[in-house]
Amino acid sequence: MSSQNETDSDSSPGNGVDTDGDGNVIDDPGDEDDGDGTEVIPIPAVDLELEKSVDNPTQIMGDNVTFTIVATNQGPGAATGVTVTDHLPSGYTFVSSTTSQGTYNTGTGLWTIGTLTAGQSASLSLTATVNSSGDYLNLAEVSSQNETDKGMKMTVMAQR
């Protein structure tokens, strides 16, 4: 309370709520009932996006195809512990992978990116041979991050 017209027997208007002068206004000794404070601790938030493309969606069986996944952190905070799953389905045989950041595990399909600062992107290229039969729908998804993703996790797909 900063002012009053009536007398308040246990308060002095306008004397502040940080009675011990430590910069913290929560439960100070001798604080009065006309003032108090609380602190908000914001939770870091990120907005991770995935974009996936394929170099040629109409490949001939036996030819190689390259899928490219780009993970971008739209912010506002840094994203840590970022992983993306892209396990090649049965219609493809793994040939090679290239990452701009992190590592790709061919057995699990897990791309471990690590940290993406706000506005930063990382990419993964997967080259595979198109098999004569199998599932050709290739999906990628953000698997984890340590911060709250303020956007929705999206599954992106590329079809041959």
On whether the CB atoms of residues 48 and 72 are closer than 8 A, the answer is yes
Calculate the average pLDDT of the chain.
Answer: 84
Q: Alpha-carbon distance 100 to 122, whole Å?
A: 6
Name the DSSP letter for residue 18: -
pLDDT (0 to 100) of residue 35: 59
Q: How confident is the model at residue 152 (pLDDT cuts 50, 70, 90)?
A: very low
pLDDT (0 to 100) of residue 4: 56
For β-strands 103-105 and 110-116, DSSP reports them as antiparallel
What single-letter amino acid sits at 37?
A: G
pLDDT (0 to 100) of residue 41: 77
User: What pTM, to 2 d.p., does this model score?
Assistant: 0.72
Q: How confident is the model at residue 155 (pLDDT cuts 50, 70, 90)?
A: very low
Go through the domains of the chain in sequence order and give each one's CATH number: 1-41 (no CATH), 45-159 (2.60.40.1510)
Burial (CB count <10 Å: 0-12, 13-18, 19+), residue 68 = middle
**DSSP bridge partners of 130:** 92
Q: Alpha-carbon distance 45 to 54, whole Å?
A: 30
What are the pLDDT digits (tens) for 55-92? 999 989 999 999 999 999 999 999 999 999 999 999 99
